[in-house]
Structure 1
């Protein structure tokens, strides 16, 4: 008996003392033709010390088993191709590491492998030359304040700012957030955020869950010809396929929601797989414990995603989709005193707001001989936005005297897409890419408001209709040598709703490596984009009393991008990068009657905009310089320092040149982190982020007109003449990870705005019925201190 008790007592210790390992496997393919590469060499290093290696089989697949958990550097090599390095590859016990590695062809034979530089951040799109950065799933978690959100993570990059702490809209080089394109698995998708306002590209909470993403690209200007309908930036996101050999699961409980995630083989012998995720908001739970969530109204949301992958003889078939619904009720009628009012929403009305999103499709990728690869996708997207506002009238004692419907709208945009992309590699020096995307758009827009003259709640317009949007492109890449390449292309856009929305846009990019450590790059081209859909469908009465769509014939907003950059590696794990740019905007929609309005100023925040009749006569310009100093994660720490100086200006129909709403003039970020090994399988990581930015611009308010309209009315001639105080925020992130046998636990907390700095968001209309002497125009502040935590388990 004593012997058995001794054995039982020792078993846990014996199990714990065993080394915990995991598998690394994947495939290697040609980046330009997408063909698999049998015989490629895969090597693992700890810093520069070789650990183990293997070669890919006849299908281009590789497997390395029993890799100790922790971090390794992976190098892929194949004769006739450039080496590809994945530094700081995280190996955990809870999930296999599954990689798809794309090698770029070389114009000359390669020498022996030498780990001289990591070259992290090499982009996924082989046609990209400038103003592009790839990012990993781990970076969206590792960076303090990112909250697992690709957009918030990208705000750390040079030239990129967040527009509002409560939202993830991105201001890229002074451009409106309207100009950002979101793409998922080649499909252009609607705004992928909960509580998304019609016509915007951001929101408070992302629908996209980083757990199902693979490495992706983010562009900040002069992007290649395959991207259209964007003038500011592009998120080119990719969903990974599920594990095709074993079942894996994840669960997460945190401030932003409860998440469940599963993946595994559908039929292991066929290498087919599935991946599915689901998240439900838990803010209501935390609010019940009196934990401050940033607003007195409790947002509710849920989202889901899936991907099914079926290999075929010459390619694969994938079925994918994402979706989410959200709603929030901001009820000032429930407040019992003026002191309870918050400035998160208008304080004189109840607001009911909700959104829903669905995007998905089926794609067939197929090899065409040994040099070409094609991909056909049929997809569908759907986005709803709806809101209702009810005015709450009170007397001087704060008692409610009446509640009157003030505004309501329902917008539904649907799209059926058929797209085909073709890659062809002629030889080691020349490759070609072409594609077309045909979209059938369907609009249903209903808008109602209170007529102040008649005090009647009436429909402003009710539109049902649609149009075709066709985007096509051609791209050619020529390598003069391994050090010098040029990418040229042409993008075409045709929007059939009117005759003024057609464009042919030439683009060019070049990259020249001066030596092993230094390189220069440049890019230029024409870019254009549509207006938010409700701008085309908005109707009002004409002089004869007939409903008229006043902006149906407005053309594209157009711009010219030009960028030049220099990059130098500083040792094996650090780089410095300098980019300068000039962007000229023309055909910008402005009002026909002289005013300061310009589409270049719109697209952030929680409000739609309804200008008068528009014409394409406005202009604008953005220019600046950006600096990045980055140390990749090695030796257990990393840092990223970025800074930008810029100027963003526009001219409205009144002929006056002014700074745009987004002209902060400067922005700087310092981000740093370190990982500590606490025990054999335990690690503690921490990161900090500090952000400085120029103050927002504001306009003087016409107080009398504001009180009459019960909403802010600005003095048009004085637009953007007030500079609010500069922005500062400091965030901290801490995470503790345990790698047990086949299970990984992680507990993390993000401390957002640690010093509770009261950064000014802007002005808001907030009348105080108990004290009419108080100005109804008040400053609204961004989020204060906000702790965000989660517990995650992978097994």
Structure 2
């Protein structure tokens, strides 16, 4: 009898243990947003649990919350003299949660404190036109294929150019004006299948396993950002766990993803490393073509972040953080002609190409807290990018003729520094600069359809320098008013062009729920180096470089915004945020063709370099408004609803007519949201939906009666640029996932891209179809990809 009772007791205990909700530890640090000084005694609480467990930070600004149930948790942090912050964080039973919370000085209105919203930019000098995107947002419930740029394409004011590209069009601006920054230093285009002379590609090199909070700016950037006209991505890597090793393995139809992190020296240093390999071969064989039929591609990348911290024993302020980081990516895409050769009836059937891109960057970053009011940041990095394109036509006899061959090798050695100083509780200053030595070896040969011989359009190598000093201040002259202002300088040694750019933004807090803001900035952009160096025939058989002395392209940005937070919670925070931003941008000194009759505008190019003589006489204007409604992550739900109305136009010269730019869809709308249901103590169901709509990109119509219709180049009527429009773009993506949280956790996810199988027109690409016009041949727009399922399985331990 005793044995039976013992057995039943053990069985009952096991069942009880099995039925317990899995828990994990949340730990991290709380620091000042400007100086990164640790804050002693800050309160940290988990607000979405009935018991509201909490703690306070220790002498080093560190905190530990133990036995927190797994799932998405709402963390609130408060400290005397600072704005309260509320953030959402995914707690996994298999892995500790390590977070850094940054607090900013408080704004108090008649005894009522203003609460910082959870999407506020990490950069304290960029409160207007900027948001932050967390790694949790990319992992939990969003239909973004685990890619930062796919997520950004669903945000207000942003529209995609093509399904298989990650280019970002912001407020009608060309993607070429985008700036990428990683760990405090500017980097070249960090995309697989990077398009030459552009800022986009196929998918970013960044794995979501490494991403911390990333700032995304859409206009009137703060003074530390330069050499950009359209937008800024300021990317940060998170630190690895410095207490225990952890691993993530992800496999799916797109490939493999492996991540590992852990301590190098426990409590002092850590490593975080990720490797990805992906191929479209599996999907192609299943009949789902993301890029196109007869096209295969694959890519792989490796990223890492090693973090070291040093502080003298018993010294609270002076501390040094040191990061050694790196990214590298290899990608290759090939298109084959139709097989068998006897079936090659059209130009497209005979076309073939090889497209490879390789990119790598590695750097050192140091942050030193000098005192309670000052800190210093230093960064140095080495970068290399290689792009190779070869386009052929293959005859029925399998004889290949090279039509175009391009190889671009670009390198960069960069140094950056920032000094932060709190001059008083109401006045803060940051000063610094960036120095980059740019190396290049560029080759471009294109077959002449006249002589049927290759023309050399570009063959240059060398180096040049880019300098960018800046200084900026944040000042609170009154409790309701905050002003950020500064100057950014830019000097490009290749053709000795420079600029001094004023920046200012002002926020007026009418009420804890209502904020009015104004921002202005002058911004400049160096063109892709190949644009300056392209060779063009002078009409007498001699190659010249007429574009070498082009000026910096420039733009005035003006933003007026109104923010309203509502849906008050028991902790005096808000569930919803409505944001209305009106903007005007005036572009000038944009390259246009030197021929006075031409309507060419360089920012209508999607890739490559101009093949005509240019002058810096073009002007443009973007005017519009973005409206967004954001529900912060609470109780398993989140959403962002956006609507943008705008007009983007240009004219080649001041006296010319106005024309639509290539990206002037005029109206775009987006929805990004998700819901998470707790279905058991250990399991949760995650759903997400992303919907993108725009009115259709403008296109240049074809000539009504062209003298000759050839399969080589569509006969566009350049006298009526972008005067017609393709069909409206509409694409919904759906995600369904099941997460099982135990000491070894797993996630099974199905992302269905373009769930309604709508094949949108591709406004950027024509294709020749020999069956059109009664068999005489003609041109039509390609259709983009249809429904594509992406199944993946992830395990964390």
SS at match of 1:535: helix
Name the CA shift for 1:774/1:348 in 2 (closer, same or farther; >3 Å): farther
Aligned length: 777
* Aligned counterpart in structure 1 of residue 331 of structure 2, from 326, 329, 333: 326
Name the CA shift for 1:380/1:317 in 2 (closer, same or farther; >3 Å): same
Contact 2:141 2:676 in 1 (8 A): no
Long gaps (5+) in structure 2: 312-318, 568-573
CA offsets per residue over residues 1-46 of structure 1, 9 Å max, x none?
9899878977864542233111111111111122111222212211
SS at match of 1:138: helix
Name the CA shift for 1:353/1:74 in 2 (closer, same or farther; >3 Å): same
Q: Please, which moves more after superposition, 166-175 or 753-762?
A: 753-762
Spell out the pairing of 1:620-635 with structure 2 (5 A cutoff): 620-635=620-635
SS at match of 1:326: strand
Q: CA RMSD in A?
A: 2.5
* Aligned counterpart in structure 2 of residue 369 of structure 1, from 362, 368, 371: 371
Q: Distance in 2 between matches of 1:549 and 1:614?
A: 10
CA offsets per residue over residues 651-687 of structure 1, 9 Å max, x none?
0148221010000010011333221111111000112
Q: Distance in 2 between matches of 1:120 and 1:126?
A: 13
CA offsets per residue over residues 145-169 of structure 1, 9 Å max, x none?
3111111111222111111111111
Spell out the pairing of 1:263-282 with structure 2 (5 A cutoff): 263-268=261-266, 271-282=268-279
Task: Note if 1:491 corresponds to 2:493.
Answer: no
Contact 2:325 2:362 in 1 (8 A): yes
Q: Please, which moves more after superposition, 191-200 or 559-568?
A: 191-200
Q: Distance in 1 between matches of 2:284 and 2:784?
A: 19
Name the CA shift for 1:402/1:15 in 2 (closer, same or farther; >3 Å): same
SS at match of 2:741: strand
* Aligned counterpart in structure 1 of residue 243 of structure 2, from 238, 242, 245: 245
Q: Distance in 2 between matches of 1:617 and 1:720?
A: 20
Spell out the pairing of 1:351-362 with structure 2 (5 A cutoff): 351-362=353-364
Task: Note if 1:298 corresponds to 2:300.
Answer: no
Long gaps (5+) in structure 1: 394-398
SS at match of 1:717: coil
**Partner of 2:557 in structure 1?**
561
Deviation at residue 215 of structure 1 after TM alignment: 1.2
Q: Distance in 2 between matches of 1:4 and 1:352?
A: 71
Contact 1:695 1:726 in 2 (8 A): yes
CA offsets per residue over residues 221-244 of structure 1, 9 Å max, x none?
011010001111111110011111
Spell out the pairing of 1:670-685 with structure 2 (5 A cutoff): 670-685=671-686
Deviation at residue 588 of structure 1 after TM alignment: 0.8
SS at match of 1:766: strand
Contact 2:145 2:751 in 1 (8 A): yes
Spell out the pairing of 1:86-101 with structure 2 (5 A cutoff): 86=87, 88-101=88-101
Contact 1:79 1:110 in 2 (8 A): no
Task: Note if 1:317 corresponds to 2:322.
Answer: yes
Contact 1:384 1:413 in 2 (8 A): yes
**Partner of 1:739 in structure 2?**
741
SS at match of 1:303: strand
**Partner of 2:123 in structure 1?**
125
**Partner of 1:69 in structure 2?**
70
Deviation at residue 716 of structure 1 after TM alignment: 1.3
Q: Please, which moves more after superposition, 183-192 or 771-780?
A: 771-780
Contact 1:348 1:767 in 2 (8 A): no
Contact 1:540 1:550 in 2 (8 A): yes
Deviation at residue 117 of structure 1 after TM alignment: 6.7
Q: Distance in 2 between matches of 1:111 and 1:247?
A: 46
* Aligned counterpart in structure 2 of residue 424 of structure 1, from 417, 421, 425: 421
**Partner of 1:204 in structure 2?**
202
Q: Please, which moves more after superposition, 26-35 or 136-145?
A: 136-145
Q: Distance in 1 between matches of 2:178 and 2:521?
A: 16
**Partner of 2:470 in structure 1?**
473
* Aligned counterpart in structure 1 of residue 600 of structure 2, from 589, 597, 600: 597
Q: Distance in 2 between matches of 1:713 and 1:143?
A: 45
Name the CA shift for 1:119/1:771 in 2 (closer, same or farther; >3 Å): closer
Contact 2:108 2:480 in 1 (8 A): no
CA offsets per residue over residues 255-289 of structure 1, 9 Å max, x none?
332010000001115x1111100001143244445
SS at match of 1:201: coil
Q: Distance in 2 between matches of 1:325 and 1:688?
A: 31
TM-score (norm 1): 0.93
Spell out the pairing of 1:140-159 with structure 2 (5 A cutoff): 140-142=138-140, 144-159=142-157
Contact 2:495 2:549 in 1 (8 A): yes
Spell out the pairing of 1:160-559 with structure 2 (5 A cutoff): 160-268=158-266, 271-288=268-285, 292-296=289-293, 297-313=295-311, 314-334=319-339, 346-393=348-395, 399-400=396-397, 402-499=399-496, 501-543=497-539, 545-559=541-555
TM-score (norm 2): 0.93
**Partner of 2:571 in structure 1?**
none
SS at match of 2:775: coil
Runs of 4+ in 1 over 6 A off after TM superposition: 1-12, 107-113, 769-772
